Each structure stands twice: as structure tokens, then as C-alpha cells.
Amino acid sequence: MAIASGLPPRLGSLTFHGPLSEARAGRIVARLAAVSPSTVLDIGCGWGELLLRVLESVPGSTGVGLDINAEDLARGRDLAKGRGLAGRVEFTEESALGTARGPVDVVLCLGAGQALCDPEQPYDPGVVLHELRRLVRPGGRVVLGEGFWDRVPTGEELAAMWPGAHAGDHLQLGPLVDLAVEAGFRPAWIESASREEWEEFESGYRHDTELWLATNPDHPLAAETRERVDRQRSSWADGYRNILGVTYLTLVPVTRT
């Protein structure tokens, strides 16, 4: 990914901004397309790759992607234009907190639950799930990508993760799915990122920047960039690798009478 400014590149080697393989994405899209959604909302969409694939699979459907990162949104618009979808998708730079963009037929929220939570309060997946339930129409679908502990980490393992990491940052899978049920969903499909998907994501996340560092060791931004990338890599390789999971829950709202 060429960077005309000479700055370190960002995320150019990633197709999806998360541990999601082509094969799994294809299966998720096929399940969503089977219900023929007319409208799709992507919360914290980034560049909206999964959103675009759903729209490609359902002729005539339209979508909205919400994010606060202008660079990612611009990438999404370019992708949409190149795939003939510019007239069917809107990439909007706005907060999703309390959004009035729903209800829609399909809601995507992949690793972006924090966008639905009050930033002044501790992260609460229960709040996320209730917001998603509010945003989806009867008969629709929600796909939630959410972190969970494969096992509760030790104090030593937590210390090697991100700054301030603690056991309460995530639930284990069972309690997380229970929260989805409590929020008014039935879990139609429960799947988790594989070790290979994690490794593809973690390596791809840093790949372009690592290449840049190897060829620009004396750049004015090299020291800061190297420190950041080394810290990110260490938090995975020495910390949450094989402990933190990501589940993709395909959720169906329970019809209320």
C-alpha cells in the first residue's frame, strides 16, 4: 500500500479488520443473503468489507456504514465505487451511540460494540446486545463479532496484554450467549475465530508497517512507530494469544407479541 506522504502505512494488508477468513465471511454472507434483506446497517464499519459483500449478494439492497475514522470511510467509498455499489451504500462519519439509523433488516457489528456504549461507563456487552435488538426489524438478523475469554487469564497473563487489562474486560462464551438470549435473541449460529484466522489478522495488522520500519529505520517517525508496533505485537504474542477469542454470533430477534 503506497503512502505518498511517506508516513507509516496503515492496515493495507487486511481485507477485514478482524480475525475473519474468506471462507467464514462467505458463509456468514450466504446466511444473511438467504433472508433477502433490503436494508443493512454496519456499526463501526471501518471500510465495510462485509457490508459490501452482503450488498453484492442481495441485488437492490442498500446499506449504511457508520464509523468515526475518516480514513477508513474513504477506503470504503473507494471500494464501493470500484465494485459498482456507490449508489447503494452510504459511508457516514458519525457516532453510533443512540443512533436513529434503525430499524433495519440486518445489523453488522464486528468488534465495534464500544460504539454503542457510553464511553464514560465500563464496557457492557449487555448494553450492546439491547441496542442491537432495538436496531433490527422482526425477522431480521444481527451479526455480532465480540471478544470473549477462552479461559480466565491469570494475573501474569493479564499483565502482558493491553494496559490495564483485567479479567472483567470480557466474558466467557457461554455467559455472552446467555446475554444475547436475555436481550431478546435466539442464537442461530455460534462460531469462533480459529488460531489461523487470528494469526492472519495479527500478522496482517502489522505487516505493512513492519516492512516500512525495515526500510525506514531513521525516519523521524520510526522510533515512535517501532515502539507502538512492538507493544502491539508483544501484547498478542506474550499476552492474549490462545486466551482471547472472537465469536461471531448470528442472532435472530424473538418476535414479541
DSSP 172-202: BHHHHHHHHHHTTEEEEEEEE--HHHHHHHH
How many other CB atoms are there within 10 angstroms of residue 215's CB atom?
7
- pLDDT digit string (tens) for 94-105? 999 999 999 999
How does residue 226 score in pLDDT terms, banded at 50, 70 and 90? very high
Supply 155's cell numbers: 494475573
Predicted confidence (pLDDT) at residue 3 exceeds the cutoff of 50: no
- Asked if pLDDT for residue 1 goes beyond 60, the answer is no
> CB neighbours (10 Å) of residue 250?
19
Question: To which residue does cell 487469564 refer?
Answer: 153
∠196-200-205 over CA atoms, to 5°?
150
Which cell goes with 181?
A: 438470549
- Which domains are present in the chain? 22-198+233-253 (3.40.50.150)
* The pLDDT of residue 5: 54
- Residue 59 CA to residue 88 CA, distance in Å, equals 10
Contact indicator for 116, 88 with CB cutoff of 8 Å: no
User: What whole-number distance in Å separates Cα of residue 169 and Cα of residue 162?
Assistant: 11
pLDDT at 9: 84
Compute the distance between CA of residue 33 and CA of residue 25 in angstroms, rounded to an integer: 12
Q: Are the C-beta atoms of residues 104 and 140 closer than 8 Å to each other?
A: yes
Quick one: pLDDT at residue 251?
Answer: 98
Q: What pLDDT, on a 0 to 100 scale, did the predictor assign at position 217?
A: 94
- Label residue 228 exposed, middle or buried (CB < 10 Å: 0-12, 13-18, 19+): middle
User: What are 38-88's pLDDT values in tens digits?
Assistant: 999 999 999 999 999 999 999 999 999 999 999 999 999 999 999 999 999
Contacts of 20 (CB under 8 A, 6+ apart): 50, 110, 145, 193, 197, 201, 248
pLDDT number for residue 256? 79
| Whether residue 250 has pLDDT greater than 70 | yes
pTM: 0.95
The average confidence (pLDDT) of the chain is 95
In the 8-state DSSP scheme, what is residue 239?
Answer: I
Query: Per-residue pLDDT averaged across 174-199, rounded?
Result: 98
Q: Write down the pLDDT at residue 2.
A: 38
pLDDT of residue 4 exceeding 50, the answer is no
Residue matched to cell numbers 471500510 = 47
Cβ atoms of 176 and 148 closer than 8 Å: yes
Q: What is the pLDDT of residues 103-160, one digit of tens each?
A: 999 999 999 999 999 999 999 999 999 999 999 999 999 999 999 999 999 999 999 9
Rounded distance between C-alpha atoms, residue 154 and residue 37, angstroms: 43
Percent of the chain at pLDDT above 90? Answer: 95
